[in-house]
Amino acid sequence: MREITPIKFLTGFFMMASKGINTYEQWAKEIGKADKKKKGVTKQAIWDRMTSGAVNFAKLVLQEKMTEQFKYIHQRTGGIFAAFKNVYLQDSTYLSLPDELVKDFPGNNNDKHKRKAIAKIDTLYNFTKGTFSFFGLCSFAENDQRLAWSTLSFMKKGDLSIRDLGFFVLNALEEIRRLGAYFLTRKPFGVQVYDINTGERINLAKQLKKKGRMDKEVLVGSKEKIKMRLVAISLPADKAAQRVRKAKCDRDKRLHHSKEYYTLLHYVIFLTNVPGEIWTTQQVADAYRLRWRIEIIFKTWKSGFNLGKLIHRGCTDKTRVECIIYLMLLFMVIFQLRWYDYFAHHTLKRYGKHVSLLKLAKLITTFIEQIIMNSITETQLQKQILKHALYESRKDRIHTMEFYYSLAA
């Protein structure tokens, strides 16, 4: 049996994954193509190495690359984020798995009341550095609120955490404040707020119908009574109507939304401990829009890197699935640091153009074999980026990266 070194193991996988294929035979072929000594391996050799040791290896290399300081990192500071040392975005994405894995990755029920297998990837992304600080792999059934505590160890004084609604835990937010850090989150409907002077519950629906918006300090939680800044802004009529339609078509027939609930759908309501001296009312809303950055990253993973295709019906072994996911996360970390951050900064500085994350991901997967084999130069790759990986110029609206850079400029 031919020896499969760690670098061969990784290289073969990356080349295979870039084609949207996941078979042991293709993996073995790609290792043979990348091996300068032309020593091939068999698919059986790959299968033999698909053990818990391979999973641990992938996790260790992933962690190493996440903590490694790359020379390509460019700090994103200034603008409305000038007051913060690091800006973190926390969110989760989901992957549908073969039904055979439902015991290992229990998900929700489909229309036929059959439980599906779903994996969840929890992510903490450092927008300031353009790096990933944390990955967690678990089942869909694991509550985001339990995961809300998992990333607090990364928070330091002066940092900012922008969190998805699913990670809302009052005590975790209070811990962020205690650390001397900041948070920004949307307010869940069921969380009550109280007047900071009288302690009486605030009827947000009633007050917002009168005033249209709100920016004031309140006490949050019926038991905790934690002081926070509440910011509420009315939505454009079309977006509010879309929210209402979605709520009325909710698949869960057990939900009977109240009149108050439908009224509040016309507003976006935030909770934060960032004071008014740092952010205006509008800047609170603008800052939360940064969360779309992580949504674009998730979209890039699934469509740009074929993540969904790699876990096909034949992947019924938990070890194999975990190994694939960790190896893909490793590839994404390398992509983000070595290619995207470097070329995005270089292209903007030299040509005044913004590089699309999704388009660059598709371009890199097209040329991954040439990149690994060193048969394409940086200059040649830059030319391809200028042709195929830039945002299109629009007169009617600015694109995503223009918005991000305007926030941090």
DSSP one-letter string for 19-77: TT---HHHHHHHHHHH-TT-----HHHHHHT-SHHHHHHHHHHHHHHHHS--TT-----
Tokens standing for residue 89: 């975005």
Phi-psi bin for 130: left (phi > 0), alpha (psi -120 to 50), beta?
Answer: left
Measure the CA–CA gap between 246 and 244, rounded to whole angstroms: 5
Mean pLDDT, residues 193-219 taken together = 93
User: Is-contact 20 30, C-beta < 8 A?
Assistant: no
pLDDT digits (tens, 9 = 90+) for 240-262: 888 888 887 765 555 567 888 88
Q: Return the higher-pLDDT residue of 212 and 382.
A: 382
Q: Return the higher-pLDDT residue of 368 and 308.
A: 368
pLDDT value at 272 more than 70: yes
Mean pLDDT, residues 340-367 taken together = 92
Q: Please state at what angle helix 357-372 crosses helix 378-388, rounded to 10 degrees.
A: 150
pLDDT for residue 409: 58
Give me the count of residues in the chain. Answer: 409
pLDDT for residue 131: 86
At 395, the pLDDT band (50, 70, 90 cuts) reads low
Least confident of 42-56, 97-111, 321-335, 379-393: 97-111
pLDDT for residue 407: 66
Bridge partners, residue 220, by sequence? 193, 226
Measure the CA–CA gap between 31 and 36, rounded to whole angstroms: 10
Alpha-carbon torsion (315, 320, 326, 328), positive or negative:
negative
Closest by CA to 213, choosing from 290, 284, 281, 283, is 281
Question: Residues 6 or more apart from 366 whose CB is under 8 A from it?
Answer: 18
At 74, the pLDDT band (50, 70, 90 cuts) reads low
Measure the CA–CA gap between 112 and 78, rounded to whole angstroms: 51
Question: Residues 6 or more apart from 113 whose CB is under 8 A from it?
Answer: none
For the chain, how long is the longest CA-to-CA vector? 78
Mean pLDDT, residues 290-313 taken together = 88
At 67, the pLDDT band (50, 70, 90 cuts) reads confident
pLDDT value at 132 more than 60: yes
Looking at every residue in the chain, the average pLDDT score rounds to 88
pLDDT for residue 181: 97
pLDDT digits (tens, 9 = 90+) for 103-122: 999 987 765 668 899 999 98
Closest by CA to 185, choosing from 197, 194, 196, 172, is 172
Mean pLDDT, residues 126-138 taken together = 88
Backbone angles phi, psi at 62, to 5 degrees: -60, -45
Mean pLDDT, residues 188-214 taken together = 92
Q: Return the higher-pLDDT residue of 91 and 409.
A: 91
Measure the CA–CA gap between 340 and 389, rounded to whole angstroms: 11
Mean pLDDT, residues 16-28 taken together = 93
At 1, the pLDDT band (50, 70, 90 cuts) reads very low
Mean pLDDT, residues 391-404 taken together = 68
Classified as helix, coil or strand, 319 is helix
Q: What percent of the chain has pLDDT over 70?
A: 89
pLDDT for residue 49: 92
Tokens standing for residue 343: 């070329």
Mean pLDDT, residues 331-348 taken together = 90
* DSSP code, position 201: B
pLDDT value at 343 more than 70: yes
SS percent in the chain: helix, strand, coil, step 5:
45, 20, 35
Mean pLDDT, residues 48-56 taken together = 94
Q: Return the higher-pLDDT residue of 112 and 287.
A: 287
